[in-house]
Amino acid sequence: MDKTILQVEDLSTSFHTERGWLKAIDGVSFHVYEGEILGIVGESGCGKSVTSQSVMRLYEEKRTTRYEGKVILSGRNLLELPYRSMQHIRGSEISMIFQDALSSLNPVLKIGDQIMEPLRIHQNLKRAEARERGVEMLRLVGIPAPEKRMDQYPHELSGGMRQRVMIAIALACRPKLLIADEPTTALDVTIQAQIMDLIVSLNRQLNMGVILITHDLAVVAQTCQRVAVMYLGQIVEEAGVPELFDRPLHPYTKGLLSSIPRMDGDSSQPLHVIAGNVPLLHQMPAGCRFAPRCPCATEKCRSEMPPLREVKGKQKVRCWMAFGEEEKHV
């Protein structure tokens, strides 16, 4: 029996800008099971990062940010918690790792100070105990000579090592859920693979849920059990990884899949490119958000927004055409 650890329902986040309130993500719903890796994919600017940071409520300026919906972790709606309790959840129950480890580690603090910090805050450990646990964590993420690293500064480490350090910091308190926001984008290809392997093995070892945010479908195929595809602040398709790659339903997903270069493909053929650009947030189309770029959009697509609906087993999609096909099949 799969146990749900995180349930996001109808989450919307708006930011106040000079053009008024803009919804960066609109009605996002998904859930994460214990011990699974959920991928969230999409182009840059589609709201992947906003989604993950909203889950942790990292946008705290009340005057400029507005959350709607629910983020339920162990029966509590995080969006309604007082700030203090939220601080207690961050780093102990949910942790996050970011794209660029160099800029995400404080340059003037030693690695040791940064890894001991969550341990001392959340588990009230003494300095010596926290240090011991910190060394243990560094060893767990595969850093050689961890005692020595504790007294070094972030800039003294290589890119891959820094990313490992960040993972060690995030996992120090053994959270139930890890959010990894493009964890390998800033790294070399060989190191990318090492870091992904590390995340997958830690996911199994510690039985924690992982939300992997990426724009790389190849990474999703290798590591995730389920995947949600985002476009312009909405989830347009959600499915198990095999189903999605076998039978993508949304035209956007199809486009994404056919733009992956393939080893066995005909290299003389140009890569597929999805036409057009992502529209700006304040020029949102009225109907389906993908309609302006969609090769098979109809009048209905342009005027009416499709809901995210379950079509085949556990596959969900937000597309009138896909609903139509499904009905034909029935």
Partner 1 sequence: MQTYSLERAELKALRRELVREQRIVNIRRFFRNGLSVVGLVIVLLMVLIAIFAPVITGALGVDPYTSLGRDMRLQPPSRAHPFGTDNVNRDVFARVIYGTRISMTVGFLVGLLSALLGTAIGMYATINSVWDNILMRICDGLKAIPNILLAITLMAVLGANMQNVIISLTIVSIPGVARIARSQALLVREQTYVEAMRGAGASRRRIMWRHILPNILSPIIVQMTFTFATAIISEASLSFLGAGIPIPAPSWGGMLKEARSYVYNGWWMVVFPAIFTGLSVLSFNLFGDGLRDLIDPLSGR
Partner 2 sequence: MKKYILKRFLTLVPTIFIVSVVVFLLVHLTPGDPAAMMLGDDATMEDIAALHAKLGLDDPWLVQYVRWVGRCLHGDFGTSTAVIGQKVSDMVFSHFRPTLCLAIYSQLITVLIAIPTGVLAAKNRGKIADFIASVLSLLGISLPSFMMGLGLVLLIAVHFRWLPAAGYKDLFTDGLLPFLRYMTLPALSLGFIHSAYMMRMTKASMLEVLGSDYIKMARSKGVKEHAIIGKHAFRNALLTIITVIGQGFISALAGAAVVEKLFTIPGIGTLLVDSIEKRDYQVIQAITLLIAMLNVVINLVIDLIYGLCDPRIRLD
Binding positions for partner 2, rule: CB under 8 A: 53, 56, 58, 60-61, 63, 87-92, 95-96, 98, 100, 103-109, 117-118, 121-122, 153, 155-156, 166, 169-170
Place of tokens 């709607």: 68
> Which secondary-structure segment (H or E) carries 205?
helix 189-206
Q: What are the residue ranges of helices labelled H in 111-172?
A: 111-123, 127-140, 146-150, 159-171
Task: Give min distance, CB of 250 to partner 1, in A.
Answer: 13
Q: How far is the CB of 248 from partner 1 (least distance, A)?
A: 12
User: What pairs with residue 14 in β-bridges?
Assistant: 23, 66
Compare residues 159 and 279 and give the one whose CB is closer to partner 1. 279
Q: Report the relative pairing of strands 177-181 and 209-214 from DSSP bridges.
A: parallel
Binding string to partner 1 for residues 271 to 310, with x set by CB under 8 A, is what? -xx-xx------------------x---------------
Nearer to partner 2, 24 or 170 (CB): 170
Query: Which of 224, 110, 111, 101 has the alpha carbon at shortest distance from 172?
Result: 111
Residues 5, 73: contact at Cβ < 8 Å? yes
Closer CB to partner 1, 82 or 270, in the complex: 270
* Type and span of the H or E element at 6: strand 4-17
**CB–CB of 71/79 below 8 Å?**
yes
Q: Based on CB atoms, which residue is closest to partner 1, 201 or 259?
A: 259
Residues between 220 and 279 that touch partner 1 (CB under 8 A): 251, 254-255, 258, 272-273, 275-276
Which residue has 């109907």 as its token pair? 287
Per rule CB under 8 A, count of chain residues that contact partner 1: 11
Q: Which does 109 bind (CB under 5 to 8 A by kind): partner 2, partner 1, none?
A: partner 2
Kindly tell me which of 182 and 238 has the beta carbon lying closer to partner 2.
182
Q: Report yes or no: 231 and 293 within 8 Å, Cβ to Cβ.
A: no
- Residues binding partner 1 (CB under 8 A): 18-19, 251, 254-255, 258, 272-273, 275-276, 295
